[in-house]
Amino acid sequence: MIGINVLVSNFFGYLSIACWIVVLFPQIMLNHKRKSCDGVSLAFYLMWSLGDLFNLAGALMEGLILTAILLPLYYILTDCVVLLQFYIYRNNHVCSCDVSSHVSSHVADEESALVAAHHPQNHACSVEDEEHRCDDTSCQCQLHNCHQVRSDQPANGRSTRYTLVFMALVLVIATFVVHYYHANRDWFDHIDKRRAIAQLLGYMSAAVYLGAYIPQLVRNYKTKSTEGLSLLMFILVIVANVTYCLSILTFHRPSREYLEKYASWLLGASGTIWLELGVLYQFYLYRRNHSSDH
């Protein structure tokens, strides 16, 4: 007979899976609607994908519960969809103004104003001139927005480079650990090799997950906006991580050995909740800086 703790754990586990199944749909649909991913940090998703790979490998080697294996597998599939959108929309930006057309229109308006200056009887043109001035103001605003988008691109490039450096550093550390292990194999004979590597992958996954949110938080802070991000996605991520932790904690009576086994996965899920709350605070803080996208 299945114990009550297993039923409760399964409930939270499948609830977490349900949240993760739909968690990226709001962001994917928003990217599709805007035909752009410029609101999302590429570094965020690259690091998230790397963390998912470590997560899945560690969960398989450690022989964790089914929930802990299915989730990272699904993460990787959805990560591929978003990264594909980054590639498809790589040259698209929300500001699609044509600079040359605005400039030519502005020159034509100035020529019309000079012609009208030699014909005083066209006093009615003052209304049209006012409209032209309004159009010019709108053009200047759009041009300013375009320049602002372009000015953000170098920052995004730097963020991506920092992420690649971080990923390279993680790989260097992993290589060093493996080399150190082989050099001291006799000392590690009493340790389960498979479990040791699984735990290493788990902690690497947690570290990458925690670091993944930094580029997105920094980007939102620099642009003073969360435009292009789905609020619903981050709400679902928080719910999914909370229920994921509960599914682990309720599956078995907490013991030192059990908690040590799942420590890295609990750290990765619970630690990111605080960073996700930080993103939600940015949604609140910058809510007046853009129209609602969710």
124-169 pLDDT per residue, tens = 444 444 444 444 444 444 444 444 444 444 545 555 565 565 556 5
H or E element in which residue 190 lies: none
Residue 235: both structure tokens together: 């709400």
Quote the pLDDT of residue 89.
Answer: 86
Q: What is the full per-residue pLDDT of the chain (294 aa) written as tens digits?
A: 567 888 888 888 888 888 888 888 888 888 888 888 888 888 888 888 888 888 888 888 777 777 778 778 888 888 888 888 888 887 766 554 444 444 444 434 544 443 344 444 444 444 444 444 444 444 444 444 444 444 444 545 555 565 565 556 556 655 655 565 566 555 555 556 777 788 888 888 888 888 888 888 999 999 898 888 889 999 999 999 999 899 888 887 777 888 888 888 888 889 899 999 999 999 999 987 665 444
Q: Using CA atoms, how far apart are residues 130 and 61, in angstroms rounded to an integer?
A: 71
What's the CA angle centered on 270, arms 264 and 275, to 5 degrees? 120
Quote the pLDDT of residue 276.
Answer: 93
What's the CA angle centered on 23, arms 65 and 81, to 5 degrees? 95
Residues in the chain: 294
Q: Which residues of 121-144 are buried (b: 16+ CB within 10 A; e: fewer)?
A: eeeebeeeeeebeeeeeebeebbe
Q: Which residues contact 258 (CB under 8 A, 6 or more apart)?
A: 252
Q: Using CA atoms, how far apart are residues 104 and 37, in angstroms rounded to an integer?
A: 30
Three-state SS at 128: helix
Q: Using CA atoms, how far apart are residues 285 and 277, in angstroms rounded to an integer?
A: 12
Q: Which residues contact 111 (CB under 8 A, 6 or more apart)?
A: none
CB 241 within 8 A of CB 270: yes
Q: Using CA atoms, how far apart are residues 19 and 240, in angstroms rounded to an integer?
A: 5
Quote the pLDDT of residue 235.
Answer: 94
Quote the pLDDT of residue 152.
Answer: 46
Q: Using CA atoms, how far apart are residues 226 and 292, in angstroms rounded to an integer?
A: 10
pTM more than 0.85: no
Quote the pLDDT of residue 71.
Answer: 76
Would you list the domain boundaries of the chain? 4-95+153-289
Half-sphere exposure of 9 (CA within 13 A, CB side): 17
Residue 98: both structure tokens together: 């044509």
